[in-house]
Amino acid sequence: MSGGDRIVVVTGAASGIGRRLVDDLLAQGDRVLAADIDGGALDAIDGWPAERVVRRALDVRDPEAWGETLAAASAAFGGVDVVMNVAGVLRPGAIASSSAEDVDFHLDVNLKGVIHGTRAAARLMVEQGRGHIINIASLASMAPVPGLGLYVASKYGVRGFSMAAAQELRPRGVFVSCVCPDAVRTPMLDLQVDYPEAAITFTAPRFLTPEDVSALVLGQVMRRRPVIASLPRSRAFLARLSDLFPAVATRLVAVLDKKGRKVQEKERRAAAAGGPGSSSR
């Protein structure tokens, strides 16, 4: 199905990658149900054509709300072709100082939210006999990143679950893709600037933008429907190497940590000055 013909549900649509995806989908002529836990932020967005977009508050942790959201998309547009699970959270910090609430926060939103969304979409799409579910993970789903242990656990789960769901649903006409980008310049990156534990996040040769991720999703992922798509490939290779050979990862950590802390300091100075290094979402 080409751009302009699709009915797409996007979570995390009020900001960052989710908002960029909605903007680009609408520019192609698609119809979108834009969902976010912050309904007020959704309502404040200007420029979306009312006849082709439905705005809906959604807490991805609520399985019943998921069913209601997909039903609302079907009622408004006549069905659902694609569901994009974009909503995600991150709280940097050492594992020893993390709270039980931190654990629940990451797993409930990042992992269980994706599982609930995939389950709801799968029921609808299996009945239709077609559909595509796109789950946004991270390169942290491939590499054991110290300082982000809870986030890493949730994203490893997203990748593993997506791969299993892809094998199960493909024979029934439903495709599942897991997208794994490197660090993206959004407030999620801002959150990590003041946490030395998250220094390795700042070792990327360049930070991706929401536009980069949207181009990958609306291009390769929606055309070819791969099980896994990573960006950029060079960093994905390094991530997989760290996963396959933990001893190599251990040796790399000290070098990467030193480099990342230098970039963190540069980002802090740029943010304080309001310069181009500051992130926006």
Q: Does residue 181 sit in helix, strand or coil?
A: strand
Burial annotation 241-276 (CB, 10 A radius, 16+ → b, else e): ebeeeeeebeebbeebbeebbebbeebeeeeeeeee
pLDDT over 80 (residue 66):
yes
Sheet holding 82-85, edge to edge: 53-57, 31-36, 7-10, 82-85, 131-136, 174-181, 228-231
**Percent above pLDDT 70 for the chain:** 97
Average pLDDT over residues 52-60: 98
pLDDT over 60 (residue 279):
no
Average pLDDT over residues 191-205: 86
Determine contact, residues 187/15, Cβ cutoff 8 Å: yes
Q: What is the model's pLDDT at position 215?
A: 98
What's the pTM?
A: 0.91
- Pairwise CA distance, residues 47 & 203, whole Å: 36
Where does the pLDDT of residue 1 fall: very low under 50, low under 70, confident under 90, or very high at 90 and above? Answer: low
Burial annotation 80-96 (CB, 10 A radius, 16+ → b, else e): bbbbbbbbbbbbbbeee
Q: What is the model's pLDDT at position 272?
A: 83
Helix (H) or strand (E) holding 188: helix 187-190
- Angle, nearest 10°, between helix axes 233-244 and 246-273? 140
Catalytic residue IDs? 151
Q: What is the model's pLDDT at position 275?
A: 55
pLDDT over 50 (residue 276):
no
Q: What is the model's pLDDT at position 251?
A: 77
Closest CA to 279 of 189, 199, 211: 189
Residue 209 burial by CB count (10 A; 0-12/13-18/19+): exposed, middle or buried? middle
Q: How far is CA 223 from the centre of its chain?
A: 19
pLDDT digits (tens, 9 = 90+) for 110-133: 999 999 999 999 999 999 999 999
Where does the pLDDT of residue 2 fall: very low under 50, low under 70, confident under 90, or very high at 90 and above? Answer: low
**Percent above pLDDT 90 for the chain:** 71
pLDDT digits (tens, 9 = 90+) for 81-104: 999 999 999 999 999 999 999 999
Mean of the per-residue pLDDT values of the chain: 92
Determine contact, residues 32/11, Cβ cutoff 8 Å: no
pLDDT over 50 (residue 225):
yes
Q: What is the DSSP letter of 57?
A: E
